[in-house]
A and B are shown apart, each in its own frame.
Chain A
Amino acid sequence: MSAPTRKHSAPLDWLIPAILTGSAAPFVLLVFKAATGRLGANPIATALNQLGLLALIFLVACLACTPAKILFGVAWPIRIRKTLGLLAFYTACAHFFLYAAVDQGLRLGSVLTDVVKRPFILVGFVALVLLVPLAATSTKAALTRLGFKRWKRLHRLVYLIAILAAIHFRMRVKADAREPFVWLAIVAVLLLVRLIDGFRGGARARKKRSVMAAS
């Protein structure tokens, strides 16, 4: 075909709107089910579990962007990384507010006692609090203000957050820990890919330096 192709200049401008639209689906479904009494006998617990899991899914998807580039050389996931991170943050907020406002009935005393006394809630709460600075510095302006190096260092917190989120899930479960372990394993693999790449990258850089020094 002789038509001019725009493959390389194609802006993928449909990608983020598609991710946002698709991401609305579980929320729309949740609201619909809640409104029509289809969340089972304990709808608040069901909604809490689903929002929590959804936040973890967004977080893991966000963490998978860089390994996707490292392993498969695809660059487009990097374009949706920020969107996924913000989705994880907003979903985690919804998860927490459902817990505090509906589950605990805005009894701030019992929320505070829970956070302080129960390791499982504390772990989830810390993960949420750590997400705040990342969400707040997600703009280009914040990146310029901080400088890339510091910005990147700050955003490495996301590794810790993902581990905390998976542990929070594991601690909630009474006996069947298979599902949380699957998530924990996914997070571990995603981190490992970066770690290995980091070492190899480091080794390459060192080699390059020594070659240059020798010549």
Chain B
Amino acid sequence: MRPPIDSPKSAEITDQGLYVRRREFIRRAGLFAATSTAWGAGLVVLSGRGDADPPKPPPPPPAGVPPLRIAERGKYVVDEATTSFESITTYNNFYELGVSKSSPARSAGTLRTRPWTVRIDGEVGKPQTVDIDTLIGWFGLEERVYRMRCVEAWSMVIPWLGFPLGELLKRFEPTSRAKYVEVTTLDDRELLPGENDDVLPWPYVEGLRMDEAMNPLTLMAVGLYGRALPGQNGAPLRLVVPWKYGFKGGKSIVRIRLTEEQPVTTWNRVAPNEYGFYANVNPLVDHPRWSQAYERRIGESARRKTLPYNGYAKYVAELYRNLDLRRYF
């Protein structure tokens, strides 16, 4: 029972009041601390997943990958600062290793790249399945510093190591019916666990017109920054087409097929209104959801103007002389 407020204050009652208020204070302070901590932690976890914590740069290439010898440098070198190795290897779009930018670097350990074979077939005189190290051994590797422009309006400058796709194709004697090249990524849910999620139809397929494939700029990369490609960058073999948006560069390639018909490429199949087969970098043709006029170079804060054909117009503009670039974006 509560004593009336105007009851005489005996020492005993005062003490009990203090006691109660102290308990009450502690109770409320506890509730405050618990609620603010739980609420704050919940918000941090819910809002900060995915891209928040960049993984550490990858360890050196796994055992069994022979060291790469650079035979030539300086043929195609962009006169712009190269993006850091850490950024190139921790900010990746490689859905086969997870859809966030940082997950490929974290999951790349599952991608074992030896043994590895590449099947080259379709409209070729000599179809063959080749061991990856045999294939790499055919070429003197070149270092080429290319701009890489992602369709998401960010870009990097990457020192690739590789050889021209055209040189590879010539060895297999393309027939006169070969009009297109189709490259296919490894289809393996264990090595590329992201393929367990049906975010895209697997395997990832990309393709080029034959004249694009034979252009000396088109590179098959096996390394970057002078060392073997890390898994998240598409080890052991990937396509690099510097005047096109990055998604054209198929990664972890197991098959190269020459065809008469235009290949059904993954992003074009999934969202044909957003991702064209050609996907040439073009500041004048916007993506339906964002402008392609500017890009953010990774490592810089202000945006740069995007260049037609990503700055490679003098090498490739000729290929599209008679093409309506708005229709065939």
Contact = CB atoms under 8 A, between A and B. Distances in A.
A57 B177 CA distance: 56
Interface string A165-197: 000000110111010000000000000000000
Interface stretch (A21-29, A65-73, A141-149): A21-29
Interface in A26-50: 26, 29, 33, 38-42, 44-46, 49-50
A212 interface: no
Interface stretch (A102-110, A132-140, A156-164, A198-206): A102-110
B36 A42 contact: no
Contact of A102 (B36, B270, B301): B301
Contact of A26 (B29, B43, B86, B291): B43
A22 B37 contact: yes
Contact of A53 (B46, B83, B301): B46
Dominant SS among interface residues on chain A: helix
A211 interface: no
Interface string B175-215: 00000000000000000000001011000000000000000
B39 A172 contact: no
Interface residues of B, number: 58
A110 B294 contact: yes
B43 A54 contact: yes
Nearest to B51: A46
A1 B237 CA distance: 75
Interface in A79-126: 102-105, 110, 113-114, 117-121
B301 A44 contact: yes
Contacts of B42: 22
A38 B37 CA distance: 23
B29 A25 contact: no
A104 B293 CA distance: 12
Nearest to B23: A3
Interface string B36-77: 111111111011101111100000000000000000000000
Contacts of B101: 40-42
Given A4-B20, A19-B39, A23-B39, A118 B289 contact: yes
A113 B290 CA distance: 10
Contact of A57 (B33, B35, B43, B197): B43
B260 interface: no
Contacts of B24: 6
Report which residue of B39, B296, B301 has the largest number of chain A beta carbons within 10 angstroms of its beta carbon.
B39
Nearest to A58: B43
Interface string B85-113: 01100110001000101100000000000
Given A22-B38, A175-B99, A42 B44 contact: no
Contact of B35 (A18, A24, A103): A18
B12 to A, nearest CB: 13
Interface string B301-312: 111000000000
Given A4-B2, A44-B296, A178-B199, 12 more contacts: A15-B35, A18-B39, A23-B39, A23-B40, A26-B44, A39-B54, A41-B91, A105-B302, A114-B290, A172-B289, A175-B200, A175-B270
24 contacts: A14-B32, A19-B35, A25-B43, A29-B44, A39-B52, A40-B51, A40-B54, A40-B101, A41-B298, A41-B299, A42-B298, A50-B48, A54-B43, A57-B43, A57-B46, A57-B47, A105-B303, A113-B291, A118-B290, A171-B289, A175-B200, A175-B270, A176-B99, A176-B199
Interface of B: 1-2, 16, 19-20, 23-24, 28-29, 31-33, 35-44, 46-48, 50-54, 83, 86-87, 90-91, 95, 99, 101-102, 152, 154, 197, 199-200, 270, 286, 288-291, 293-294, 296, 298-299, 301-303
